[in-house]
Amino acid sequence: LRVKMINSLNKSEFENKGFTLIKNFLDKEKVKKIKELNQDIIKKCEKGDWPFLSVYKDYPHFGGVINLFGVNYPLHGQLDKSIYNIVSKIKIESCIKYLLNWRNYKTTLIRLHTFNKNYNYQGAWHRDNEDFESQDTIQSVLYLMDESGFRIVPKFNNKKLEEYAIPVSGEEAKVDYMYRKLDKNMYESISAKSGDLFIFRSSLLHQGFSLDKRMHYHMRHEKSIEEISSISGLQFVDDYKSSANI
């Protein structure tokens, strides 16, 4: 799948902040196709036809259907026969190599995050890796709709979290600070368009936040020491392939 090349501004931003937004990463036609397939998948999940779900914590059911927050194993063949073949070929390798200089990697997690109701969503402050700066693991968000609100603390503010009694490393989340209010100059709110790709170091403190409907893939990529002649696409581990034994 064709993508727009990453540029030097993305690299300098990633080095400075630990994250960057790559605009127009995926072309509109591919986004449209993936979004259409996911809309059918979401309908199945809302009816309870898939057991691997996350639901909105305060209102697990809404309007007679499951109030869906996320879909686990969203590329499995039982949900759709074609979606894995489309998504797995997305050419993220140029971005990962340019930002991190990894020779090889594996995608070790993918979830479909969705929110179809017209009220606010706010997640907990957390990290996806406890070892700051997580040199061997990153997260990415591939946006399938225009979204605003995702909050993330840039790496140059990580030390300042001590002023809010939040550890700077060593744990991924703790109930004491999951919903702590941070001054707005401590974090950035990401505004993305459909087709944009957001990449960030897994150990950065971040919080899901949305004031409207949303649909995106949330993924984790890990450095691999396996020597191969070439890398291409998302390179999913077996657990997230279409035929995974789940």
How far apart are the C-alpha atoms of 169 and 203, rounded to whole Å?
A: 8
Once rounded to an integer, what is the mean pLDDT over residues 2-28? 89
Instruction: Give me the pLDDT at residue 57, please.
Output: 61
| Mean pLDDT for all residues in the chain | 89
How far apart are the C-alpha atoms of 27 and 199, rounded to whole Å?
A: 18
Q: Which residues sit opposite 141 in a β-bridge?
A: 198, 218
Instruction: Give me the pLDDT at residue 48, please.
Output: 85
Residue 133, preceding bond cis, omega within 30 degrees?
A: yes
Once rounded to an integer, what is the mean pLDDT over residues 110-132? 83
Instruction: Give me the pLDDT at residue 2, please.
Output: 45
Instruction: Give me the pLDDT at residue 37, please.
Output: 97
Give 119's pLDDT tier (boundaries 50, 70, 90): low
Instruction: Give me the pLDDT at residue 108, please.
Output: 97
Once rounded to an integer, what is the mean pLDDT over residues 230-239? 91
120-151 in b/e burial notation, b at 16+ Cβ within 10 A? ebebebebbbeebebeebbbbbbbbbebebbb
pTM given for the model: 0.92
DSSP letter for 126, please.
B
Residues 6+ apart with CB under 8 A from 216: 112, 113, 141, 142, 143, 144, 145, 147
The pLDDT tens digits of the residues spanning 141-179 come to 999 999 999 999 999 999 999 999 999 988 777 888 888
pLDDT at 63 over 60: no
How far apart are the C-alpha atoms of 206 and 34, rounded to whole Å?
A: 26
Instruction: Give me the pLDDT at residue 65, please.
Output: 55
Q: 66-70, 99-103, 225-229: which has the highest mean pLDDT? A: 99-103
How far apart are the C-alpha atoms of 241 and 110, rounded to whole Å?
A: 10
Give 191's pLDDT tier (boundaries 50, 70, 90): very high
The pLDDT tens digits of the residues spanning 205-223 come to 999 888 788 899 999 999 9
Residues 6+ apart with CB under 8 A from 106: 221, 222, 224, 235, 236, 237
Give 1's pLDDT tier (boundaries 50, 70, 90): very low
The pLDDT tens digits of the residues spanning 33-59 come to 999 999 999 999 888 889 998 876 644
Give 188's pLDDT tier (boundaries 50, 70, 90): very high
Least Cα distance to 51 among 75, 73, 31 occurs for 73
Percent over 90 (pLDDT), the chain: 69
How far apart are the C-alpha atoms of 99 and 20, rounded to whole Å?
A: 10
